[in-house]
Structure 1
C-alpha cells in the first residue's frame, strides 16, 4: 500500500502553509511552465492525478473541460477539494495511483502535478494511462527532478573555485528513497529521465516536450535570491507526450 503521508496531521499542517497550498496555482513556481505544455482544454475529458486540494482540477473546469476527474489518495486533501469546488463538471475520487485502473479510451487529457514520483511502478501506470487516453490524447505532468531527488547530504558544498555547488549521490541507483521533508520518513521513488522516457515510449507514447524548469525573468525579479540556487540545479521536471491519432 502506498504511503498516505498527506493524511498525517503534522505533515498536512506543514504542507498547508506553503504558498502553493494557501494561494493556488499562481503561487506555484512551476505552474507557468506546466500551463505552457497543456493543449486546448475546451471540451476535453480530463483526469488530474494526485489532485491534492483541487486547484488544478478547478482551473481545468474553468477553462471549459467537459469533465474533470481529480484523483488522490488523501482523504483530507479530497475533503478540502470538494468543499472548495463549485464547478459541476469537476468530480473527485479517492484512489491509490499504484493500483489505479481507469476506463480505456475515457480521457482526452491526463495531467499530474508533482505526484508521479510517489508511484512505485512507473511502467505500469504509463501503460494504464496510454490505454485510458483516446487516440490523439495528451499526457502532461511534473515531477521532482531526478537530479534534485538524488541530492546528497549536505546538498550544498563549496567548490574549489569558491562557488556553491549542488551535490548529488547515487543518481543511477533507482528505486525507493526515504527523505525528511516537513516530517521524517517520506517515501518517494527515484528514476532517471531516461528511464521515464523509455517506459513512456515503450507504452506507446510519442515524446512532445521536456522542460527542466528554471524561473522566468519575472520570477527572478520577484525572488532575486533564487539566482544562487535555481540556476545550479533544476528542481522540477515537466514532460508532455501524446498518444498517436
Structure 2
C-alpha cells in the first residue's frame, strides 16, 4: 500500500490503525497506485522486489494485498501457491496458483484457509499500520514462516507525518515527532470525504515492536528515486526530498537459545 492510514478506531501502541475504512478507500488507492508517477511504481515496488529476490517456487502471503495485483505479479514470476489477504475484498481475478481472501491481517491465524499453512515470504507492504495489535500480528506471521522464511515489512518514514503536522499546527518537528495523541486526517488523493485518524509513531516504536514480536532486522532499506525517474517526475522527487519516503525491513525470527 502506497501510504497507510487509519479509520476512526483506536490505534495500537506501536502506531497501528484499525482497518474498516480501508473498505471505502481501497478503490481510490488502487487508482492512485496505477498512475505513471505513483511513488509505489517508481520507488516502492522496485525496491520491494529487490529485497524479495527470486520467488520461484516459493509460497508467498501478502497481508493487506489491496486488490491482489502484487501477489498476482509474483505468481507470474514463478512463485508457488500463494495467498493475498485484504479487508476490502475488492480483488482482481486471481491467476492460477493465487488465492485472494477477504480477511483482517490483525489475526492471520483466524483467516479462513490459512490455519496450519506455512509461507516462505510474508509481506506487509504498507499494510502493517492497519493491525489492531502490531506485536500480535507479527508474532502470528512469524509462526507461519517456513524454516528459512522472512517477513518483508514497509512503512512510511514517521518523520513525514511530523513534518505535515508541524506545518499544519505551527509547532516544531520535535514536538510532533514525539507526540502521542491521534490526529484527524483526510487523504486528498484517495477520498477526501473519509475522515481518518492516525497515531504518530517513532523509529523506536517500530524497532521495539519487531523485538517484542521475536524478530530481528536482517536488512533495512530507505529506497530513493532513480535519477531517470526523478528527471521525468520532478514533482515526485520534491515529495521525496521533503518527506524522506519509505522504510523497508527484512525481518527474520530471533533464533531460539
- Structure 1 residue runs of 5 or longer lacking an equivalent are 159-165
**Aligned counterpart in structure 2 of residue 179 of structure 1, from 172, 180, 185:** 185
Q: Offset of 1:66 from its aligned partner?
A: 1.2
Tell me: CA distance 1:188–1:68, structure 2 relative to 1, closer, same or farther (3 Å).
farther
Query: Does structure 2 retain, via aligned residues, the 8 Å contact 1:156–1:167?
Result: no
Query: Does structure 1 retain, via aligned residues, the 8 Å contact 2:43–2:224?
Result: no
Tell me: CA distance 1:38–1:22, structure 2 relative to 1, closer, same or farther (3 Å).
same
The Cα offsets for residues 159-204 of structure 1, whole Å up to 9 and x where unpaired, read as: xxxxxxx957532234744311032422344322222222223322
Query: C-alpha separation between the residues in 1 aligned to 2:80 and 2:229?
Result: 33
Look up the match of 2:99.
91
**Aligned counterpart in structure 2 of residue 30 of structure 1, from 25, 44, 57:** 44
By relative contact order (CA 8 Å, sep 6+), the higher-ranking structure is 2
The Cα offsets for residues 61-99 of structure 1, whole Å up to 9 and x where unpaired, read as: 112111110000002x23xx2x3x3x2110011111223
**Aligned counterpart in structure 2 of residue 213 of structure 1, from 223, 229, 232:** 223
Look up the match of 1:71.
85
Give RMSD over aligned pairs: 3.0
SS of the residue 1:51 aligns to: coil
Pairing 1:234–2:247 present = no
Pairing 1:60–2:74 present = yes
Tell me: CA distance 1:203–1:14, structure 2 relative to 1, closer, same or farther (3 Å).
closer
Q: Aligned residue pairs: how many?
A: 229
The Cα offsets for residues 126-161 of structure 1, whole Å up to 9 and x where unpaired, read as: 111111112211111222221113333464899xxx
**TM-score normalised per structure 1:** 0.79
Query: C-alpha separation between the residues in 2 aligned to 1:155 and 1:237?
Result: 22
SS of the residue 1:43 aligns to: coil
**Aligned counterpart in structure 1 of residue 34 of structure 2, from 21, 29, 54:** 21
Q: Offset of 1:125 from its aligned partner?
A: 0.9
SS of the residue 2:43 aligns to: coil
SS of the residue 1:98 aligns to: helix
Look up the match of 2:143.
131
Q: Offset of 1:49 from its aligned partner?
A: 0.9
SS of the residue 2:140 aligns to: helix
Tell me: CA distance 1:223–1:21, structure 2 relative to 1, closer, same or farther (3 Å).
closer
Pairing 1:44–2:58 present = yes
Query: C-alpha separation between the residues in 2 aligned to 1:146 and 1:130?
Result: 24
Look up the match of 2:162.
150
Query: C-alpha separation between the residues in 2 aligned to 1:113 and 1:152?
Result: 22
**TM-score normalised per structure 2:** 0.76
Query: C-alpha separation between the residues in 2 aligned to 1:243 and 1:127?
Result: 9
